[in-house]
A and B are shown apart, each in its own frame.
Chain A
């Protein structure tokens, strides 16, 4: 075991490198991966494993995913890179109709152990087509695992798990977290469907994932200074998601707030909230982005950003047992 301090991007490189070292079936395909990927999330891999296993591809998203499916059907374990989730939409058919349903539709004849990396989240001043958080679309899709790592350790552990499973994995790193530093224990493997309780409090439960976990944690710290103690739970995997941990905590605190960067309506927060209120009768609130495309200008972009202040406000109104301020 080695515990090393590294960035979120470096943790991903380490996970892929270890998998490629241990398993010759693992290959990487995508645009610019040979040069390390646009976020350096493949840094050094081509030099180490060769251009046959770290495959630079044309700008052909649909074929990158589809070929990943074909490779997987024939015994490989491909990792495909979409750069950002927004470009994954060019391969949406390959993801939704081909990868996710293959096993079922063909009566169990095929397996598609394919890891599809498609970063989510805001990307400063990159406007509406480079800043989406579409995780709910994929959580809505039977046949796939959906992972949203929030820390370097998670990025290492979840990617390692993704590369070992038998299912297609929608693997969503966050564009704002690439440079985040943290300790990584390279023996730790993520258990899919296991949430992490990052803080435990008695007053309310805050459930989140990806970059919003950090926002929620900041807010919880500020709330604690005001005498309000919140649990912070990082779901990590959106499918399968850890109902038990969430429901246990919500049943205890009787208040649940779900926080995510994605657009609030139709977001995965709705799923968590509805499940919690049905199972525990707790009070619930959701906090996500308004239903607007992300603007280019900083002040427009800021409207789509969930701030710790917004989390605090939502938490306090939940504590006051008063309806939250005007809905968006």
Chain B
């Protein structure tokens, strides 16, 4: 529980710091970008959804793999991604995890098996299949966790990927983070039938639904499902019902959102719940406060590191494009 709480607190602190650093950073409809903004690109925050990342990744080993969405900070942190380098990436600096080439939406840390956040909805699912297929062909005992949103299930690759994983009995845990919104639209009205769990079941991928804001419940379910996947029982799907507290992307005012719905999301805050649960189970407030302070110090350090890191060399614009033909003609 303490570890789960720490992971969630780290994600929350990271994203709050990133949010502050992004103030004025994303220009919409010609709005001028504030030169002082450190994080300039689109920032999709997972505030309110931390329990899913923490609960699932708690059961992954370092050699296990992970694919993510455009909202990937939490997943990457929970998988053990380097906090300093991630923050530097958001700042667009040379020491960033992606050398400043990817930013928030492409955050990746291959060193811990995190194969990348993705700017294209649903694109992570086929890649997870391929990674899992490779693990199987390579005879490795590892699994792939594949995160995606409730909006992603309406693109063809969702169906293709679940079918593929089932046909080849691949070691994938599909994790649907159902925050009930696709950008600015409620997903319910755009999704026919009972939704993700039923679609998965129809394709022979067993699925279970959980309260995604209850980190212990997510963790318990993930523990069971990861064990099945690792045990060769084929792909499984974990459907986590959660709430997105912030807008879809940094500057979103959520004008489309029912204030009551937002209040419900705030009331369901997974961190508050985890804290209450920890206190009830005998953990002291001082212990929890110490964790908060510890992760805050870690994030402050990451921000300082990011801020001190230089921007990438202009020459880096020409590197890591390809081997054959690189520089043949710029």
Binding site for B on A (CB under 8 A): 27, 52-53, 57-58, 60, 62-63, 65-76, 78, 93-94, 97-98, 102-110, 142-145, 165-168, 192-193, 239-240, 243
Contacts and interface: CB of A to CB of B under 8 A. Distances in A.
A78 B133 CA distance: 11
Contacts of A62: 126, 156-157, 160
Given A58-B164, A109-B108, A193-B324, A76 B157 contact: no
5 contacts: A27-B137, A74-B135, A106-B98, A145-B324, A240-B328
A63 B160 contact: yes
Interface centre among B106, B126, B167, B320 (most CB of A within 10 A): B126
A58 B167 contact: yes
Given A27-B137, A106-B98, A67 B324 contact: no
Contacts of A94: 123, 126
A192 B324 CA distance: 7
B78 interface: no
B130 A71 contact: yes
Given A63-B129, A63-B157, A167 B323 contact: yes
Given A62-B156, A71-B134, A93-B120, A98 B328 contact: no
Contacts of B131: 70-71, 73-74
Contacts of A103: 320-322
B167 A106 contact: no
Nearest to B168: A55
Given A104-B101, A109-B98, A143 B321 contact: yes
Given A66-B127, A74-B131, A240-B329, A107 B320 contact: yes
Contacts of A57: 164
A53 B136 CA distance: 12
A65 B157 CA distance: 11
A76 B322 CA distance: 18
B123 A93 contact: yes
Interface string B109-130: 1110001101110010111111
B98 A193 contact: no
Q: Which 6 residue pairs spanning A and B have beta carbons closest together?
A: A70-B130, A66-B126, A240-B325, A67-B130, A107-B99, A107-B98
Nearest to A27: B137
A70 B134 contact: yes
Nearest to B131: A70
Contacts, number: 159
Interface of B: 65, 67, 96-102, 106, 108-111, 115-116, 118-120, 123, 125-135, 137-138, 156-157, 160-161, 163-164, 167, 319-325, 328-329
Given A58-B163, A58-B164, A240-B329, A71 B133 contact: yes
B322 to A, nearest CB: 4
B168 to A, nearest CB: 8
A27 B116 CA distance: 23
Contacts of A73: 110, 115, 127, 130-131
B312 to A, nearest CB: 9
A168 B167 CA distance: 27
Contact of B160 (A60, A74, A193, A243): A60
A67 B164 contact: yes
B37 to A, nearest CB: 22
A67 B133 contact: yes
Nearest to A191: B324
Given A62-B156, A70-B127, A107-B102, A144 B164 contact: no
A8 B116 CA distance: 39
Contacts of B67: 70
Interface centre among B65, B96, B109, B127 (most CB of A within 10 A): B127
A193 B137 contact: no
Contacts of B156: 62
Contact of B320 (A52, A74, A104, A145): A104
A193 B328 contact: yes
Given A69-B130, A70-B127, A70-B129, A106 B108 contact: yes
A66 B125 CA distance: 8
A93 B163 CA distance: 19
Contact of A109 (B110, B129, B137, B160): B110
Contacts of B133: 67, 70-71
A94 B203 CA distance: 23
Contacts of A65: 126
A233 to B, nearest CB: 17
Given A58-B160, A71-B133, A97-B123, A105 B324 contact: no
Contacts of A27: 137
Nearest to A112: B322
Contacts of B132: 70
B134 A63 contact: no
Contact of B129 (A66, A107, A166): A66
Nearest to B102: A105
B101 A105 contact: yes
Nearest to A73: B115
Contacts of B322: 103, 142-145, 166-168
Nearest to B130: A70
B329 A243 contact: yes
Nearest to B135: A74
Given A74-B135, A94-B126, A98-B123, A104 B160 contact: no
A63 B120 contact: no
B151 to A, nearest CB: 16
Interface centre among B109, B116, B134, B322 (most CB of A within 10 A): B322
Contacts of B137: 27, 52-53, 71, 76
Contacts of A142: 321-322
B319 A166 contact: no
A165 B323 contact: yes
B110 A110 contact: yes
Contacts of B108: 106-107, 109-110
